[in-house]
Amino acid sequence: MFTKVLIANRGEIACRVIRTARKLGVHTVAVYSDADARSLHVEMADEAVHIGPSPVGESYLRGDRIVAAALATGAQAIHPGYGFLSENPDFVDQVVAAGLVFIGPSAASIRAMGLKDAAKRLMEKAGVPVVPGYHGEAQEIVLLASKAREIGYPVLIKARAGGGGKGMRRVEHPDDFSEALSSARREAKAAFGDDRVLVEKYVDKPRHIEVQVFGDNFGNAVHLYERDCSAQRRHQKVIEEAPAPGMTPALRKAMTEAAVKAAKSINYSGAGTIEFIVDASQGLDADRFWFMEMNTRLQVEHPVTEMVTGTDLVEWQLRVACGEKLPKTQSEITLSGHAFEARIYAEDAAKGFLPATGTLHHLKFPGVAPEGAAMRIETGVRAGDAISPYYDPMIAKLVVHAGDRLAGLEALRTALAQTEIAGSTANTAFLAALAADPDFVAEDIDTGLIGRHQEALTAVAPPTGEIISAAAVAASGAGALPSSNDPWSSLAGYAHFHGVARRMRLKFGDEAIQARISVRSDGRFQVALDAPYDSTNSHDLRAVPRLARWPGHITVFEGAVGYTFAVPDPLARSDEAAAATGSLRAPMPGLVKLVRVAKGDAVIKGQPLLILEAMKMEHIIAAPHDGVIAEIAGEGAQVTDGTVLVRFVEDQSASTAAAGG
């Protein structure tokens, strides 16, 4: 076994690798950028080396600095995690040339599977079924549009490099092909440095089912069964599970055999995933699945496979990389129970899953697993850490394992309801709603499920009077419910003509809330809310709510929902000019990728104005109302959260002059 390994990654996967390495007695070296100087993976590792500024191109994608760090610290091998350089064959060559071991497949295997078009041609030769489509080298728009017509709409444009849903567009009509192609190419170029694409038939009711494979350097290859990753938004996975619901013995046999055949065709060594698209329009059938791509690395969702097979895939990676044979034969790998993984992101599901930033002022996961289940939390952050605009906004992966699927879903919902996050918007309420969705529960799943149910899944009920009252009491400084040690308790014993009351102001979104708080003779808080919040009712707080105080805010937790209230500073002066509706501000830090209008242009509500690239995705900034552009940010501008992107002409006469001039 190695004595020291460098981890060329950050966040939760770096922490995950460190835990297994520590279990095996292997020392670890972390690398970090400026933004990660005080991060959890740096704290956990035995050593840490600074490799550059916060942008990934100047730090985590600098293979030369990472190799130099490994050599300087005496590491024998480099574990790439996932993302960044994990599927970069040139980096593998760098590692090997330096006399180090790359904990993963060979550069030749990565090259064989790294480009989707070439991989599909290779799989066709190996006898593995592939999706009908165009996988050729020519990239002229006329040719691609022609191939799309031959395939038949709807089609899917996919970047031939990378993954994670980036550079992927569904196209319903020929008139939309050119715009979708341009958008996919821009996103692919930004994410992978390669704007070439392939065009495939879009399967009407697709299931995304993948098979975990593992090979060694002795010609052995096995599978560890399948995972279902069909619950996706924007082509990115949200909840994964193993085994796949509704899987038939015939399809499992055909799919796992095809996966092992694919791995052996390239002499694969290490952890890998063969991804298949399955037509679920008539149930799961062994004749309706096709190879999509191979991920030549450990997957984000690997914990669900570990839970149902009782394996540690990172340990397998380390053992195979240092020259050992596979720890188990195929007959020794068995399935047990059902596992789910929910990806908890800093994002606003109600706003189209818009990525969020912010400081995690409060972060609390369930202390114990739900009854009858096992649970693990995979995270790379702690309370007080910031969600940076430079990297993926994942907060944690919540993984549960139970005896069957329904028990696993119940455990997942329970664990999500016990998770508390304040300081940054998070998607826990959306995940809980998805875990309770009737179609999801009934196994009627495909990759379009979230899109079809998005409005219901992202809707959050407004806060009840009790929730608002709890926030008001907390904001008043009274704490939770009164006790003998609470200064508010003394008010309970005082009355002249009426009880003493204190007035509090809160804001929930754009809504201003007025509350009057008093203490009853029995020590309970009584809160009266002004219109429109239960103006005729008052609320006696009988139970201590789950809540978090953080600078200028109170968050009250009700199940998986966190209701955040702003607490206005009574000494602060409001700035009406800053709240003017004549400007449009950046919702997050990012890069102005494309500007579609110019100064003086008249625009209508909903019209796309520019494209902001942030969190590795493109976001369309549209006009909030009709108007005339007075100023607009330039292409290539790097903006921060709140930067004015667009100003509109303020009055109608100016608008008319600008439009006519």
pLDDT tens for residues 428-463?
Answer: 999 999 999 999 999 999 999 999 999 999 999 999
| Confidence label for 500 from pLDDT (cuts 50, 70 and 90) | low
| Stretch 132-155: mean pLDDT | 92
Residue 587 has pLDDT above 90, yes or no: no
Q: Is the omega angle on the peptide bond into residue 154 within 30 degrees of 0, that is, cis?
A: yes
Tell me phi and psi for residue 606, to 5 degrees.
90, -5
| Confidence label for 414 from pLDDT (cuts 50, 70 and 90) | very high
How far, in Å, CA of 240 to CA of 369, rounded? 19
- pLDDT at position 659, please? 42
Say how many Å lie between the first and final Cα of the chain, rounded: 75
Question: Which of 180-184, 228-232, 348-352, 484-488 has the weakest average pLDDT?
Answer: 484-488
Question: What is this structure's pTM?
Answer: 0.81
How far, in Å, CA of 619 to CA of 56, rounded? 20
More confident of the two residues 566 and 574: 566
- pLDDT at position 497, please? 42
Residue 485 has pLDDT above 80, yes or no: no
Could you report the per-residue pLDDT of 224-277, keeping only the tens digit for each? 999 999 999 988 899 999 999 999 999 999 999 999 999 999 999 999 999 999
How far, in Å, CA of 527 to CA of 339, rounded? 44
How far, in Å, CA of 30 to CA of 609, rounded? 42
* Tokens, residue 332: 């020794």
| Confidence label for 575 from pLDDT (cuts 50, 70 and 90) | very low
How far, in Å, CA of 386 to CA of 360, rounded? 6
- Which residue type does 378 have? E
- pLDDT at position 652, please? 46
**Does the CA dihedral 288-293-296-298 come out positive or negative?**
negative
Cβ atoms of 169 and 157 within 8 Å: the answer is: yes
How far, in Å, CA of 517 to CA of 134, rounded? 67
- pLDDT at position 576, please? 37
User: Left (φ > 0), alpha (ψ -120 to 50) or beta: where does 162 sit?
Assistant: left
Cβ atoms of 184 and 169 within 8 Å: the answer is: yes
Does residue 319 carry a catalytic annotation? Answer: no
Cα R_g (the chain), whole angstroms: 27
Q: Find how far residue 415's CA is from the centre of its chain.
A: 18
Q: Which of 417-421, 488-492, 578-582 has the highest mean pLDDT?
A: 417-421
Tell me phi and psi for residue 363, to 5 degrees.
-145, 115
Tell me phi and psi for residue 8, to 5 degrees.
-90, 55
Other Cβ atoms less than 10 A from the Cβ of 576: the count is: 7
Catalytic residue among 16, 252, 297, 413: 297
